[in-house]
C-alpha cells in the first residue's frame, strides 16, 4: 500500500486517507442526485443517467487515484450538465443523442490533447480574465436555472421574468432548504449540500410534498436507455463545432484550474509545477469519453476534493475510497429518483454552487476595460441568452477587437485570433 501510494513520503496514513475519501464523497455526492435531474430535462431517462453519472465518476476517479496518485475526485461537472440540457438540447434544438455525440468528440480531442504539449498552448492562449469570466458566467447560469426550477423567478409577459409566488408550498420549501444549506455552510459543516438535501427531504415528507419510495434500494437498471445511444454523425450534420469547442474548452481549463488548486493545497506542486499532469488530464478526458458512451455530460475535477485534502488526504487512496463509495450509490436508485423529483431538494444546490463559482470575479482586473468588458459580456450573456457558448463566443470576439483598438494586438495569442474568427463565423452566419 505504501509503495503504491507513497503514504510515508507524503506524511499520511491509511486511516487518514480513508477518512479524507469519506469527507470528499459526502461533499460531492449531491451530483448523483442533481445531474440525472438536470439531464432528464433534456428528455433522457433518469435511471440511465444516474447509472452513467456514477460509472463515469468511478472510471475517472479510479484513473486519477491509481495512475496519478492525487486525492482528487471527478464527476460530471455542474454547468456542463446545464449547458448540455438547456443550451445544446433546449437551445440548439438537437436531440440528446446528438449532444452525447458532441461530448464524445470533445472527449476524444481532449485525450489527444492530453498526450501532447498543445494542451498548454491552448490554455495559455486564453486570458485569465476570460477564464474567470467563463466560470462565473456558468455559475450565474446554473443559479438562474435553480431559481427557475423552484419557481422563485417565473416568466412574465411584461418584463420577461419576475418574482414568483413564494407562498406556493414547493417554492416556500425551496427557500427553507436554501436557508438550511446556507446555515450549514456558514458553520463549515462538511457535506453541507448533501445534508441540506436530506433535511429538506425530511421536511418534504412531513409536509406531504414527498412520498417515500416503496423500496430504498434496488439493483441498478436502466442503463440501456442511455448507453451507446450517442449520434456522432448528427454532430457534423448539425455543424455543432462551437458546441464541441465549448465542451472541450470548459472541461480543459476548469479541470486544470481545479487540479492545480487542490494540488497546491495538498502541497503536491513541485517548483510551482504540476507533476504527472498528463495522467491527471487523461483521467478527466477518459471519464468524459466514457461518460458520453454511458449517457452523461462531461466529467470535471471537483473542487470539493479540497475538503478531503483539509482532512489530510494526500494520495490516490483518497480517490479510490471515493470511487468505492460512489459504487455503493448504484444500489440506491429509487431513493435518488424520489429526491431528484422534488425541485426544493435540488434547486438550493444549483443556486449555492452557482454562488461559489461567482467567487472568481474578484480575480478580474475591473479597472482595465480591455480585460473587464469582454469578461462582463461573457458573464451577463450566458444567462440572458440561455447559452454558455454564445456568452463565450461574444467575449472571445470582443477581446481581440479591444486590444487591436488600443494598439495591443501583439498581446493576444495567435491561436486566440483563430478562436475569435471561428466564433464570429459560427454566431454571425450559422446561428448559436
What is the grid cell recorded at 318?
Answer: 483518497
Confidence class of residue 430 from pLDDT cuts 50, 70 and 90?
low
Quick check: 413 pLDDT over 60?
yes
What are the φ and ψ backbone dihedral angles of 161, each rounded to 5 degrees? -135, 155
pLDDT (tens digit per residue) in 14-25: 999 999 999 999
What is the grid cell recorded at 392?
Answer: 463565450
Confidence class of residue 277 from pLDDT cuts 50, 70 and 90?
confident
Confidence class of residue 317 from pLDDT cuts 50, 70 and 90?
very high
Quick check: 262 pLDDT over 70?
yes
Q: How far apart are CA 232 and CA 254, in angstroms?
A: 25
Output 423 or 42, whichever has higher pLDDT: 42
Calculate the average pLDDT of the chain.
91
Rounded average pLDDT over 289-310: 94
Please give the pLDDT value at position 233.
Answer: 96
Beta carbons within 10 angstroms of residue 181's beta carbon: 24
Quick check: 193 pLDDT over 80?
yes
Q: How far apart are CA 247 and CA 138, in angstroms?
A: 12
Rounded average pLDDT over 332-345: 92
Give the best-scoring range by mean pLDDT among 6-10, 249-253, 369-373: 369-373
Rounded average pLDDT over 245-267: 84
Closest C-alpha to 86, from 99, 101, 73, 104: 99
Confidence class of residue 432 from pLDDT cuts 50, 70 and 90?
very low
Closest C-alpha to 329, from 345, 313, 340: 340
Quick check: 247 pLDDT over 60?
yes
Rounded average pLDDT over 124-132: 87
Give the best-scoring range by mean pLDDT among 88-97, 222-231, 332-341: 222-231
Please give the pLDDT value at position 249.
Answer: 85
User: Residue 59: CB partners within 8 Å, gap ≥ 6?
Assistant: 286, 287, 290, 291
Please give the pLDDT value at position 431.
Answer: 57
Give Dmax (Cα) for the chain: 68
Amino acid at each position: 500500500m505504501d509503495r503504491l501510494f507513497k503514504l510515508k513520503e507524503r506524511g499520511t496514513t491509511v486511516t487518514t486517507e480513508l477518512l479524507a475519501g469519506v469527507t470528499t464523497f459526502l461533499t460531492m455526492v449531491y451530483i448523483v442526485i442533481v445531474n440525472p435531474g438536470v439531464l432528464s430535462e433534456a428528455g433522457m431517462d433518469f435511471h440511465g443517467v444516474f447509472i452513467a453519472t456514477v460509472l463515469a465518476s468511478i472510471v475517472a476517479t479510479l484513473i486519477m487515484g491509481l495512475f496519478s496518485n492525487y486525492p482528487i475526485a471527478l464527476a460530471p461537472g455542474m454547468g456542463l450538465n446545464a449547458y448540455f440540457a438547456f443550451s445544446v438540447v433546449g437551445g440548439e434544438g438537437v436531440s440528446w443523442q446528438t449532444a452525447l455525440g458532441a461530448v464524445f468528440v470533445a472527449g476524444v480531442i481532449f485525450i489527444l490533447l492530453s498526450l501532447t504539449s498543445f494542451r498548454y498552448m491552448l490554455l495559455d492562449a486564453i486570458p485569465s480574465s476570460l477564464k474567470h469570466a467563463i466560470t462565473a458566467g456558468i455559475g450565474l447560469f446554473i443559479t438562474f436555472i435553480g431559481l427557475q426550477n423552484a419557481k422563485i423567478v417565473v416568466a412574465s409577459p411584461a418584463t420577461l421574468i419576475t418574482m414568483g409566488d413564494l407562498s406556493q408550498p414547493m417554492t416556500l420549501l425551496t427557500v427553507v432548504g436554501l436557508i438550511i444549506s446556507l446555515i450549514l455552510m456558514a458553520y463549515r459543516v462538511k457535506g453541507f449540500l448533501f445534508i441540506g438535501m436530506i433535511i429538506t427531504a425530511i421536511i418534504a415528507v412531513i409536509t406531504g410534498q414527498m412520498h417515500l419510495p416503496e423500496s430504498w434500494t434496488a439493483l441498478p437498471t436502466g442503463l440501456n436507455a442511455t448507453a451507446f445511444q450517442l449520434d456522432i454523425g448528427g454532430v457534423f450534420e448539425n455543424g455543432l463545432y462551437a458546441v464541441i469547442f465549448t465542451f472541450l474548452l470548459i472541461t480543459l481549463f476548469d479541470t486544470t484550474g481545479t487540479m492545480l488548486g487542490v494540488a497546491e493545497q495538498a502541497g503536491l506542486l513541485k517548483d510551482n509545477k504540476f507533476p504527472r499532469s498528463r495522467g491527471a488530464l487523461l483521467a478527466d478526458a477518459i471519464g468524459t469519453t466514457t461518460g458520453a458512451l454511458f449517457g452523461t455530460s462531461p466529467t470535471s475535477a471537483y473542487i470539493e476534493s479540497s475538503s478531503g485534502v483539509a482532512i489530510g488526504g494526500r494520495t490516490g487512496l483518497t480517490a479510490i475510497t471515493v470511487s468505492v463509495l460512489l459504487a455503493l450509490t448504484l444500489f440506491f436508485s429509487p431513493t435518488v429518483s424520489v429526491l431528484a423529483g422534488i425541485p426544493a431538494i435540488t434547486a438550493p444546490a444549483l443556486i449555492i454552487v452557482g454562488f461559489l463559482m461567482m467567487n472568481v470575479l474578484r480575480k478580474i482586473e475591473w479597472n482595465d476595460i480591455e480585460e473587464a468588458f469582454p469578461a462582463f459580456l461573457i458573464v451577463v450573456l450566458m444567462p440572458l441568452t440561455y447559452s454558455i457558448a454564445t456568452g463565450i463566443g461574444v467575449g472571445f470576439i470582443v477581446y481581440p477587437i479591444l486590444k487591436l483598438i488600443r494598439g495591443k494586438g501583439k498581446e493576444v495569442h495567435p491561436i486566440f485570433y483563430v478562436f475569435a474568427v471561428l466564433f464570429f463565423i459560427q454566431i454571425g452566419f450559422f446561428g448559436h
